A and B are shown apart, each in its own frame.
Chain A
Amino acid sequence: MYKSSSTQREFEILLVEDSEDDAVLTQYAFRGVPISYKLHIVGDGIEALAFLRNKGTYGDAPRPDMILLDLNMPRMDGRELLNEIKRDEHLKAIPVVILTTSSADSDVLYAYQSHAAAYMTKPFGLDIFSRNIHRFVDFWLSDTARLPSSASMA
């Protein structure tokens, strides 16, 4: 009962991505997933922190259930943002999934050592990307226990 009521609530997903192309593609890949979700997009780490801390124009931003994070970005990149989130008592519970083109061992290692929840690479074809996103949603957002909402945490 509890579970079904919570799955009815929209999933708030924050996509931190500097490339508009990639943002559009990710949105496209999310199409048709069997959950109700809302994808928020910010362009870099600074903006993401403002979103997470409800600063500036993000006063009404919801607390995301999941962060999809690109690694290579201007201003504050994904690595710095990941560290910042995991240092913040209020934010560190939010699962951060790395979504990047880099498949370098050093980046994968760094992400997991910095408590990333998962590491996904952006594939070359859109079909594969779409399939991967669907699989990801199936695993992370359908049957896996969901992060309690910020209200219930407080």
Chain B
Amino acid sequence: MCLFRDISIRYKITLLLLMVVSIVLLAVSIANVIGEVQTTRGSLVTKYSTLAKIVAAQSGAALSISDIDPSTAQEILDDLAIEPSIVYAALIGLNGHEVVHYPSDSSAGQAPHDVEDLGARFTDDGFLDVMQEVRLNNDSLVGHLYLRATTEELRIQVYQTILIASVVYILALVIALLLSFTLQRLISTPVLQLAELTRQVSTEHNYTLSAEHQGNDELGMLCQGFNSMLSEIRRRDDELMQSNDELRQFAFVASHDLQEPLRSVTSFCNMLQTECQGKLSPDANGYLERIVNGATRMKALVTDLLNYSRVSREEQVDFERVELRDVIGEAIVNLQSSIESSSAEIFCGELPRVKGDRSQLVQVIQNLLGNAMLYRGPRPPQIHIEVTKKHKYVEIAVRDNGIGIAPEHYERIFEIFKRLHNRSKYPGTGIGLAVCRKIVERHGGRIWVESQPEEGSVFRFTLPHDSEESQDVQKQFNAARI
């Protein structure tokens, strides 16, 4: 049955019907042929036994006088010519010897010697033998009559029966095939529709579809069940989307409104610092400093959170074609002050065009470059941006010579608020890489890191390739020091 496992249910049903029909027809045909053979044999036995009785009754007197005049007995036997299927007949005397035989020109002595074996019997070589007692006036036994008939009639009958059965079989099979093609639709059509629907739902993630099927059989129930499952999914989707929306709205509003009091805290501390210059103790000035630092840090957190919620709030849009060169250029401009203060050098290879959201890609590059400069080693940061073109996407690698990351943290660093270092050593909010991952995933790509402690890190991410990109727009940006 494994053979048929992968074929369509449509063919399975057809095959099933055909198999059942042919097995039934075959059984009926065989039974029919056997029955026919039995009947025909029975009727042959009756026919020749009757004939033998008639001939025996006629030939009683003739056999009793056959010693003197065998011609009468011969005449009686010759009358058997009206039955062409009689191939041999003989009248046997009480001594067991054939007195006369038919046809008279055939060789004598074909009758069996065992005359006691009365009745009709089919021989192995395809004849019907009949042995019948011959009595004079129904009284004294005068001899035996032997008849041998061909069973040609039986053979013809069997052949005819087989022929008819075959014709019926083929006709019935054709009709069954036609019928099954029509009938299988009753079952297979809703099943196939349901299968197609399931495919659409799972590949296109379209949960607004529903199965159409009238009727209350199991298939109807299946369709109803499927529909109610879909509507349940839709309901949950709606709920989930709504609560997601609310959550994102909350994150956005909360982080937006959080900035206000923070600004007040910082600004009034500033005011206090200016107004009370020289009047406050060094301790008090230190406390003010700490308040401002705390508020500034919180401001960075809130801004990053705002960014994070903004990235997840944005709906999927049609991405535009973006020159990666412009993206990196913009990120570098935004980072100018940290590049200068850390004396970082950034090198770029050949930069293609990609598909994406320009400002978000700037953010990814900016975060990665910013990290490369922040988590620097003792040497001035040297950052290489390399792009490898793959079949359907481009892979962008940002390689630095910084402090590196141990393999056990490769995944963790992309989670929101996950930090590996003390804030006093390396400032940061723990949101930057989470934003990167969110943006890259929104672009259908992935982001990962390859690194060893003390040996620098390579952050790699993939972006969809701009398929319409032509070669001439790719300008060499080889080892351009920026």
Q: Spell out A's residues near B (CB within 8 Å).
A: 19, 21-22, 25, 28, 101-102, 122, 124-127, 129
**Residue of B266, B271, B274 touching A124 (CB-CB under 8 A):** B266
Does residue B189 face the partner (Cβ distance < 8 Å to A)?
Answer: no
**Residue of chain B at shortest CB distance from A129:** B267
Contact across chains for A101 and B271 when beta carbons are under 8 A apart: no
Does residue B188 face the partner (Cβ distance < 8 Å to A)?
Answer: no
Contact across chains for B268 and A21 when beta carbons are under 8 A apart: yes
Could you pull out 27 A-B pairs where Cβ atoms are within 8 angstroms?
Answer: A19-B260, A19-B264, A21-B263, A21-B264, A21-B268, A22-B263, A22-B264, A25-B267, A25-B271, A28-B271, A101-B259, A101-B260, A101-B263, A102-B256, A122-B263, A124-B266, A124-B267, A124-B296, A124-B299, A125-B266, A125-B267, A126-B266, A126-B267, A126-B268, A126-B270, A126-B274, A129-B267
* Alpha-carbon separation in the docked complex, A22 to B262 (Å): 12
Q: Which residues of A contact B263 (CB under 8 A)?
A: 21-22, 101, 122, 124
Question: Least Cβ distance of A70 to chain B in Å?
Answer: 11
Given contacts A22-B264, A126-B267, 11 further A-B contacts (CB under 8 A): A19-B264, A21-B263, A25-B267, A25-B268, A25-B271, A101-B259, A101-B263, A102-B256, A124-B262, A124-B296, A124-B299
Contact across chains for B270 and A127 when beta carbons are under 8 A apart: yes
Q: Which residues of B contact A129 (CB under 8 A)?
A: 267
4 smallest CB-CB distances across A and B, nearest first, come from A126-B270, A21-B264, A126-B267, A25-B267
- What does DSSP make chain B's interface, helix, strand, loop or mixed? helix
**Residue of chain A at shortest CB distance from B272:** A126
Most chain A Cβ neighbours within 10 Å, of B256, B266, B267, B271: B267
Q: Which residues of A contact B260 (CB under 8 A)?
A: 19, 101
Q: Spell out B's residues near A (CB within 8 Å).
A: 256, 259-260, 262-264, 266-268, 270-271, 274, 296, 299
**Residue of chain A at shortest CB distance from B292:** A125
* Alpha-carbon separation in the docked complex, A129 to B264 (Å): 12
Q: Which residues of B contact A28 (CB under 8 A)?
A: 271
* Alpha-carbon separation in the docked complex, A19 to B259 (Å): 13
Most chain B Cβ neighbours within 10 Å, of A19, A28, A126: A126
Q: Which residues of A contact B266 (CB under 8 A)?
A: 124-126
* Alpha-carbon separation in the docked complex, A44 to B455 (Å): 58
Q: Which residues of A contact B256 (CB under 8 A)?
A: 101-102
* Alpha-carbon separation in the docked complex, A22 to B263 (Å): 9
Most chain B Cβ neighbours within 10 Å, of A19, A102, A124: A124
Question: Least Cβ distance of A126 to chain B in Å?
Answer: 4
* Alpha-carbon separation in the docked complex, A124 to B258 (Å): 12
Question: Least Cβ distance of B147 to chain A in Å?
Answer: 117
Question: Least Cβ distance of A108 to chain B in Å?
Answer: 15
**Residue of chain B at shortest CB distance from A20:** B264
Q: Which residues of B contact A22 (CB under 8 A)?
A: 263-264
Given A19-B260, A101-B260, A101-B263: A125 in contact with B270 (beta carbons within 8 A): yes
* Alpha-carbon separation in the docked complex, A15 to B103 (Å): 144
Q: Which residues of A contact B259 (CB under 8 A)?
A: 101
Question: Least Cβ distance of A104 to chain B in Å?
Answer: 9
**Residue of chain A at shortest CB distance from B299:** A124
Most chain B Cβ neighbours within 10 Å, of A25, A122, A125: A125
Q: Which residues of A contact B264 (CB under 8 A)?
A: 19, 21-22, 25
* Alpha-carbon separation in the docked complex, A127 to B271 (Å): 9
* Alpha-carbon separation in the docked complex, A41 to B274 (Å): 24
**Residue of chain B at shortest CB distance from A122:** B263
Q: Which residues of A contact B296 (CB under 8 A)?
A: 124
**Residue of B262, B271, B299 touching A126 (CB-CB under 8 A):** B271
Q: Which residues of B contact A19 (CB under 8 A)?
A: 260, 264
* Alpha-carbon separation in the docked complex, A28 to B267 (Å): 10
**Residue of chain A at shortest CB distance from B275:** A28
Question: Least Cβ distance of A115 to chain B in Å?
Answer: 26
Question: Least Cβ distance of A145 to chain B in Å?
Answer: 32
* Alpha-carbon separation in the docked complex, A102 to B303 (Å): 12
Q: Which residues of A contact B270 (CB under 8 A)?
A: 125-127
Question: Least Cβ distance of A76 to chain B in Å?
Answer: 19
* Alpha-carbon separation in the docked complex, A25 to B265 (Å): 11
Most chain A Cβ neighbours within 10 Å, of B260, B262, B263, B296: B263
* Alpha-carbon separation in the docked complex, A128 to B270 (Å): 11
* Alpha-carbon separation in the docked complex, A19 to B274 (Å): 22
* Alpha-carbon separation in the docked complex, A25 to B296 (Å): 17
Question: Least Cβ distance of A26 to chain B in Å?
Answer: 10
Question: Least Cβ distance of A72 to chain B in Å?
Answer: 9
Question: Least Cβ distance of A146 to chain B in Å?
Answer: 30
Question: Least Cβ distance of A73 to chain B in Å?
Answer: 12
**Residue of chain A at shortest CB distance from B273:** A126
Q: Which residues of B contact A102 (CB under 8 A)?
A: 256
**Residue of chain B at shortest CB distance from A126:** B270
* Alpha-carbon separation in the docked complex, A125 to B299 (Å): 11
